[in-house]
Amino acid sequence: MSAVTSTSRATGPDRWQHYGASSRGRRSPSRLHWDWYQRIGPGAELLGDLTGRTVAELGAGDGYQAAYVAAELKAARVFAIDSSTAQHSRGRALYEDVPGLDFVHEDAAAYLRDHPSSLDVVYSIFGALDFSDPQTLLPSAAVALRPGGTLVFSTLAHYRTGAPPETECRPADIPTRMPDGRLGTMQRWVLGASVWRELLEEHGFDVVHGDTVQDPGRDGEAPVATTLFRARTKRGSGAPHLLSYQVPASGVRSAGGDGLAADGKPHERALGHQ
- Return the pLDDT at 89: 87
- Return the pLDDT at 183: 80
- Return the pLDDT at 94: 92
- Separation CA 102–CA 97 (nearest Å): 10
Opening angle at CA 193, ends 191 and 199, nearest 5: 75
Residue 207's φ and ψ, nearest 5 degrees, are -75, 125
- Return the pLDDT at 175: 79
Q: In the CATH scheme, what is the homologous superfamily, with its name and number, of domain 4-8+29-246? A: Vaccinia Virus protein VP39 (3.40.50.150)
End-to-end CA, the chain: 22
Sheet with 101-105, edge to edge strand ranges = 4-6, 101-105, 77-82, 54-58, 119-125, 145-156, 224-233, 205-215, 241-246
213: region left, alpha or beta (phi > 0 left; psi from -120 to 50 alpha): beta
Residue 253's φ and ψ, nearest 5 degrees, are -60, 125
- Return the pLDDT at 177: 73
Q: Is the pLDDT of residue 129 over 60?
A: yes
Closest of 50, 61, 37, 43 to residue 216, by C-alpha: 37
Give the model confidence (pLDDT) of 219-267 as tens digits: 989 999 999 999 999 974 443 343 443 433 332 222 233 433 322 223 3
Q: Which of 28-32, 209-213, 227-231 is the most confident on average?
A: 227-231
Give the model confidence (pLDDT) of 141-200 as tens digits: 999 999 999 999 999 999 999 999 999 999 999 877 766 677 878 899 999 999 999 999
Give the model confidence (pLDDT) of 85-122 as tens digits: 888 888 899 999 999 999 999 999 999 999 999 999 99
Q: Is the pLDDT of residue 138 over 80?
A: yes
Q: If you average pLDDT over residues 37-51, what whole number do you get? A: 96
